Amino acid sequence: MTLLSINAGSSSLKVAVFDDAQPDEPRASLSVENIESFDDATKQVAQWLHAEQSVEPSDVQAIGYRIVHGGNRFADATIIDNDVVEYLQTITPLAPNHMPSTLACIQAFTRAYTEATHVGCFDTSFFHDVPDTAKVLPISKKLQDEIGMRRFGFHGLSYESLLDNFSRNEGPSAARGRVIMAHLGSGASVSACVDGKPRDMSMGFTPVSGIMMSSRSGDLEPGVVTYLQQEKNMSPKEVSELFSHNSGLLGVSGTTADMYTLLHSQESPDVALALELFCDKVRKQIAAFTSVLGGVDSIIFSGGIGERSAEIRARICSNLSFMGVDIDDTRNQANERLISSDASIVGVHVVPAQEDLAIIRHTQALLQKGAS
């Protein structure tokens, strides 16, 4: 039987095809861009499966979906039904840039694949049981308890796949050590783990929080929000648009959110500042999480920027020698898996994120649980 993993963006869709007997590697993948309707995208996927993979709708046993937010309710993957969809609709304000497209995708695929089991896999589940010091916001605890506010954390499926990959390649002992992972892409975050479990994370209440990103601001002084609203008469919607879509690398550089373009435009002072600010934010977060863990054994870079940009990795690590970090320039430029030098106390690695593998493992586990 065939399993599908689905990762929906606002106007894009990534599909990976797995055989249930070989779930460790997708046999094929498809990216659908510039989506106007997820019903139309679903038809494109079905046509591609039929023509290129000889897969019919009845052959699809299960479909696993990446869902950015599970709220307080979901600590694990779950089978999607009407009740789950209704709950996700209620927490859409917590992830307004992600949830609408995800829900539209789920509704389109459940209509098209009625015989398949549909499974929701949540980015927040990985961080569900972090310590209270990482979970609780520094505002009224009574208010948080009343309305279910907390720091949730995101990119959990990516981090889960990184730890699994790290365990299989560098060994279980390395994966259980003090590990700091930096998922650096359009969305960017850092997490701290020990004994294979998360202890803290840069993203908190929403995916806009944490370190500076491509077009998201990351953490800001609260006074910035009230000043813009009270003194500049910006509406909540305008403030949200600013922090989510016109900040970060794009906002500071004034040109683009694309890291490749920025790296080739550093003669502009604002571009140079944007890049230095980005590296500085990530570097500070790594150093802060080292204190949370009481030291660090391994640093892992992942995501589009983390996996591809040797310059950004080198700049982030440049002032971390006091922690025992030493980068080997040749290894780094070659994008090798281990980019730290032999003399480095801390191992620095480049590991690809494989969210689709994490999704399929959760999906298979639910299927097996239902069959037992």
- Catalytic pick among 19, 39, 123, 145: 123
Nearest CA among 161, 165, 200, 164 for reference residue 180: 200
91 pLDDT above the threshold of 70:
yes
Which tokens in the block code for residue 196?
A: 């294979």
Nearest Cα to 199, choosing from 129, 108, 149, 282?
Answer: 129
Q: What is the structure's pLDDT at 62?
A: 96
pLDDT tens digits, 156-175? 999 999 999 999 999 999 99
Q: Do residues 98 and 148 make contact, with C-beta atoms less than 8 angstroms apart?
A: no
Structure tokens at 209: 């929080």
Encode pLDDT of 140-161 as tens digits: 999 999 999 999 999 999 999 9
Cβ neighbours around 203 below 10 Å, total: 29
Measure the CA–CA gap between 120 and 80, rounded to whole angstroms: 6
Does residue 123 have an active-site annotation?
yes
Q: Return the pLDDT at 344.
A: 98
CATH code for residues 2-122? 3.30.420.40
At 139 the pLDDT is: 96
Fold agreement (2-122, 156-350): yes
d(CA 88, CA 94): 10
Do residues 249 and 214 lie in contact, with contact meaning Cβ atoms separated by under 8 Å?
Answer: yes
Residue in the structure block whose two tokens are 């460790």:
24
- List pLDDT tens digits, range 306-351: 999 999 999 999 999 999 999 999 999 999 999 999 999 999 999 9
CATH topology of domain 156-350: Nucleotidyltransferase; domain 5 (3.30.420)
For CA atoms 266, 271, 277, 279, the dihedral sign is negative
Q: What is the pLDDT averaged over residues 351-357? A: 95
pLDDT at 10 over 80: no
Sequence spans of domains, the chain:
2-122, 156-350
Residue 105: DSSP 8-state? H
